[in-house]
Structure 1
Amino acid sequence: MDTYKNVVRILDEVLSLEGRSASFSRDTALLGAIAELDSMAVVSLITALEEQLGISIGDDEIDGDTFATVGALVDFVDAKLKD
């Protein structure tokens, strides 16, 4: 499974970016940089990641750093997939 591609696909889907995520790189800033990623979208994104990737994310496992960049989110998801 290509975690990067899956995370970017889920970001595009949940945030209704209509393909804008195709230009994302690991360094692309998320939280505070993408208007669509507000607090409600974070909840929806976490739910989508859990459902589509079969992972469980506890409230105490995430903070702003998790959503700082695409790469940070991908690394977090990768670690959860290995649990």
Structure 2
Amino acid sequence: MNTAAIIDDVKAVVVETLNVEDRADAIGPSTPLLGSLPELDSMAVLELVYALETRFGIAVDGEDVSAEVFETLTSLTEFVESKLS
């Protein structure tokens, strides 16, 4: 799977999990996530982690979850890619 495909899949998971379909077009690789999307609160982070684990078949440990990972769509994609390799 290439990076472009992964970023599209990560974006789809974010949009579906946060229920922000109406703003999906405004979410790009450098879009700030944590602190910028009101829907992305601590509970939504847990739901998003679970959704990413399910979609990509990865395991995310508690210590893996940080503000840096959820900073932008790109940082979240890079995190998923690191778990896939």
TM bracket (short chain):
over 0.9
Cα RMSD, aligned residues only: 1.0
SS of residue in 2 equivalent to 1:14: helix
- The one-letter code sitting in structure 1 at the alignment partner of 2:74 is G
Counterpart Cα distance in 1 of 2:65 and 2:9: 19
- The one-letter code sitting in structure 1 at the alignment partner of 2:76 is L
The runs of 5 or more residues in structure 2 that have no matched partner are none
Residue equivalent to 1:26: 29
Residue equivalent to 2:62: 59
Residue equivalent to 1:35: 38
Q: Which runs of 4+ in 1 moved over 3 A?
A: none
The runs of 5 or more residues in structure 1 that have no matched partner are none
Counterpart Cα distance in 1 of 2:28 and 2:69: 16
Normalising by structure 2, what TM-score? Answer: 0.91
Give the percent of matched residue pairs that are identical in Structure 1 and Structure 2: 37
Listed one character per residue, the Cα deviations across residues 52-81 of structure 1 (whole Å, up to 9, x for unaligned) are 110000001121100011111011001111
Residue equivalent to 1:4: 7
Shift in Å at residue 21 of structure 1?
A: 2.1
Normalising by structure 1, what TM-score? Answer: 0.93
SS of residue in 2 equivalent to 1:57: coil
Counterpart Cα distance in 2 of 1:44 and 1:14: 7
- The one-letter code sitting in structure 2 at the alignment partner of 1:9 is A
Count the aligned residue pairs. Answer: 82
- The one-letter code sitting in structure 1 at the alignment partner of 2:49 is I
